Structure 1
Amino acid sequence: MAWKWMACKTFVYLLVCVTSAVGDEEPSRPTCADFNNTTWLEYRQATKLQVQYLLLTRKNADCASLFTQDCLNHTQKHTAYFNSSLPTKVIVHGYRAMGSKPSWVSGLAQALLQEEDVNVLVVDWVYGASFAYNLVVENYKEVAVQISVLINQLTKYGSTLESFHFIGVSLGAHVCGFVGTLFEGKLGRITGLDPAGPMFKGADPYDRLDSSDALFVEAIHTDSDYFGISIPVGHVDFFLNGGMDQAGCARSKFASMYGYVICDHMRALHVYMSALNGSCLLVGFPCSSYEEFLAGKCITCEGPFNGTCPQIGLLKNSGITATPLPDQKRVYLLTTATPPYCAHHILVDLKVSPLDKTAEVQLTLISTGHPETEIKLKLNAAETAFKAVAAHPEGLCKIDSVQLKNIGARFTRQGDVHFEYICISEVPHTRGLDPLCVKNIHIGRGVSWSHDFVQVC
């Protein structure tokens, strides 16, 4: 059905045809290609949707080549840089409100090439993505059809559908999804970086990114309350910091346009690039809700993932070994406010003697040379055991001390609080480190207490 839809459009959109070639001789250095510089007026007068492709490989990592051929005029512009025996990463940008080229493309392409020897194809559809959002949405399937014609041609020159990994940002994620639909889910992988939410949350799965679009589909959500989609759309969906309100992004409307409007939305891209650079592991924990995760109720990856936590990056199937693959599984993780965004997940486990009233305490983790991590806990009188998960820039072995303060209000909360024990540990428990524990602590209202750890890691 999908290919029938594509066939009826092909006579209009068969504008790009690419011939790959693998040459033993290094080609002469051409002028470096860049995003289309057609003026807005010229584009509005055009009769076709303009899509072009930029190719980067390890052989021309610093100078993109134009990867097009006009099939109607049989004017060939092929490149000897493309190697059909290598995997191909296809980068698709999203909505461009101001018509400017995406500044992040080079960084993402370089990170991919640093990690793997691949072809990187950048899809430039800026001038179809730069008007009113609702009009741009009308273009995304047409863009997908043109890309599909390109992919179909490349398979005739040795590439396989499984070798294609599509990476789509925002609306670009749904472009990738529709390409996958046209190929009946036979593409190797699709990564959606905060897939767009407006006009897609209630859409049929056929019309948006979903897990049937490739052999493996993953998504990273960072702005699900505004520009991003709030529902799971892949085999695994990473919800960073709950999927909204990212650390370090401004919360005031008086902040910069970037800080207030799109910082959350673009954080998915920057975290993904950080993961590619290998600064540290970014793993997610399956959980029914973000609140349950923060409450320390989801600290393993048993169940649908067979004990292996999904990891952001280029591991096959995000490191998931379960067969068959899980579907639409939400996983949660915490990040820090600044690059490389990597956080160690610290589990705080404490037990108090029975309380007369609700108490509130603030626990602070301290690692020399790094920002402190503050955790506020409400201790209900009906319970004695409490857990919480927090993000800390360093691992358990580098936590130098812990501070505790009873911050309850004078008349409405518990006075003295007696802690039978406080233990902190790092999750997931992959290194076999014993928790750091302190026992028998008694503090009054407004009183601070601290303890230094002697590390033996």
Structure 2
Amino acid sequence: MAPQETPRGREPVLWLLLVFTSLVLGTEDRAAGGGCSDLHNTTWLEYRQHRTQLQVRYLLLTRRHPDCAQAFSLQTLDNTPNDFNASRATKVIVHGYRAVGSKPSWVKQLAGALLRAEDVNVVVVDWVYGASFAYNLVEEEEEESNAPRPAGLDPAGPMFKGADTYNRLDASDARFVDAIHTDSDYFGISIPVGHVDFFLNGGNDQTGCARSRFNSMYGYVICDHMRALHVYMSALNGSCPLAGIPCSSYEDFLKGRCLSPHSGITVSPLPKEQKLFLLTTSSSPFCLHHILLQVEVSPLDKSAVLEVVLTTDSRETEQRLRLHTGLTGYLTVLAHPDPLCEIASIRMKNTGTRGEEPLCVNNINVRRGAPWSHDFVQVCAF
């Protein structure tokens, strides 16, 4: 058996480069009256008064005033906001659907993460009115977009999965489009929408969300959906690399069938509708190291379950591999918070035959590429 960390030198992976849309804005204006502005909040009274209006405005945040947004709109473009610097890159945040009476509390967190990572202009698109009770109008807009790199954080699925590419995020929208999927079986979209699409833990149920720490039922419901945002913000601080492996399906990825990524994201022509898969933990920084486990066993008379435990000085992870009659070779992807070079031991246990049949496992080698190896006790001879 030879567990190997997925090769990086010989088989490059597509890195999860989470860079938000960069735009060069022309002129923007500060809202009359000055002072700090915040996202709109909606009420049922406003719903009755403005049910067919989007009422879009924009909020500017910079390192100079990271907690004090300057508001402006397309109708007031005579003066540029004081803090706007056209020589810097501009990052644009666009929130999604909102329940009536709520505003996206995460926007301030994301803006702060962007500003800590880079000295930029952060423009927040405030369309809470439209996102609450005029959401159906979004599909009817006919505006062209020329953003160089839009990124979708679990892009919306309802009302958009069946829409044509003109009316939803798509690879044709820009030179490069990427997306992160974490709730594709509920709020998010399940189909690829960019040049590369990262499906975290398969893109559906996220680790830790089944036993959510959120206090409210609303928080529990959106736990999977919000994971894309939290992983993105964690990646911004550079605490650990997040890499995706190209594969046709999550099942093939878990079975170790996709260890030959085609290319990096800087290649030409750019890929389109490329699915990438990766495993994450349930909390920040969410990083796991993917390790390929190859197992060869003697022929079995009945199916079995092999329990594999990877141990370091501080923690251990466990994974079960189902073994079938007629098969002697298996591949699977393991995940551990620590790199393979820090794995102290591998423990295996046959848990599927209730001790009725001994399970012979070939000599165990632990290695990271070719630099080093550690031979364990010979379990049985083949």
Q: Which of the five TM-score ranges fits, normalised by the shorter chain?
A: 0.7 to 0.9
Q: Secondary structure at the match of 1:216?
A: coil
Query: Is this contact kept in 1: 2:130–2:137, CA < 8 A?
Result: no
Aligned counterparts of 1:48 and 1:97: Cα–Cα separation in 2: 16
1:198-240 CA-to-partner distances (Å, cap 9, x unmatched) read 1211211111111000111000001111111111010000011
Q: Which of the two has greater helix per residue?
A: 1
* Cα displacement (A) at 1:87: 1.6
1:59 paired to 2:64: yes
Contact 1:347–1:424 (Cα < 8 Å) also in 2: no
- Judged with a 3 Å threshold, the aligned counterparts in structure 2 of structure 1 residues 48 and 201 are, in CA distance, closer, same or farther, namely closer
Task: Name which of 107, 114, 118 aligns with 1:116.
Answer: 118
* Segments ≥4 residues shifted beyond 6 Å: none
2:27 to 4, 12, 19: 19
TM-score by length of 2: 0.84
Q: % of aligned pairs identical?
A: 58
- CA contact 1:334–1:390 (8 Å) conserved in 2: no
1: CA distance between counterparts of 2:224 and 2:42?
Answer: 30
Specify which of 182, 205, 222 is matched with residue 182 of structure 2.
222
Distance 2:353 2:327 in 1: 19
1:248 and 2:208 aligned = yes
**Which SS does the other structure have where 2:172 is aligned?**
helix
Q: CA deviation at 1:400?
A: 2.0
Alpha-carbon distance in structure 2 between the residues aligned to 1:435 and 1:241 = 30
Q: Do the aligned partners of 1:197 and 1:229 also contact (CA within 8 Å) in 2?
A: yes
**Judging changes above 3 Å, is the alpha-carbon distance between structure 1 residues 129 and 392 closer, same or farther for their aligned structure 2 residues?**
same
2:157 touches 2:186 (CA, 8 Å); kept in 1? yes
Q: Which moved more, 1:29-38 or 1:347-356?
A: 29-38
Paired with 1:105 and 1:288, the residues of 2 have a C-alpha distance of 33
TM-score (norm 1): 0.71
Amino acid at match of 1:441: V
Alignment equivalent of 2:243, drawn from 271, 280, 283? 283
Q: For structure 1, which runs of at least 5 residues remain unmatched after alignment?
A: 1-16, 22-28, 146-178, 309-319, 443-457
1:265-310: per-residue Cα shift (whole Å, max 9, x none)?
1111111111111110101001111111111111232x2x1xx4xx
Tell me what 1:323 maps to: 268
Match of 1:440 in 2: 378
1:151-300 to structure 2, matched below 5 A, reads: 182-183=144-145, 186-250=146-210, 256-258=216-218, 260-300=220-260
* CA RMSD between the two structures: 2.8
Is 1:36 aligned with 2:73?
no
TM-superposed deviation, 1:259: 5.3
Distance in 2 between residues matched to 1:44 and 1:341, nearest whole Å: 43
Amino acid in the other structure paired with 1:349? Q
Task: State the match for 2:19 in structure 1.
Answer: none
Q: 1:366 to 1:233 in 2, by over 3 A?
A: same
Paired residue type of 2:64: K
Name which structure has the greater RCO, CA cutoff 8 Å, separation 6+: 2
8 A contact 1:20–1:84 mirrored in 2: no
Q: Which residue of 1 aligns with 2:87?
A: 85
Q: What is the CA-CA distance between 1:139 and the residue it aligns to?
A: 3.3
The alpha-carbon distance between structure 1 residues 260 and 355, as it changes in their structure 2 partners (threshold 3 A), is same
Please report how far the alpha carbon of residue 109 of structure 1 lies from its aligned counterpart in structure 2 after TM superposition. 0.9
Cα distance in 1 for partners of 2:73, 2:137 equals 24
Taking structure 1 as reference, are residues 378 and 385 closer, same or farther at Cα in structure 2, changes over 3 Å only? same
Partner of 1:104: 106
The answer to whether the Cα contact below 8 Å between 1:280 and 1:342 also exists between their aligned partners in 2 is: yes
Q: Is 1:136 matched up with 2:135?
A: yes
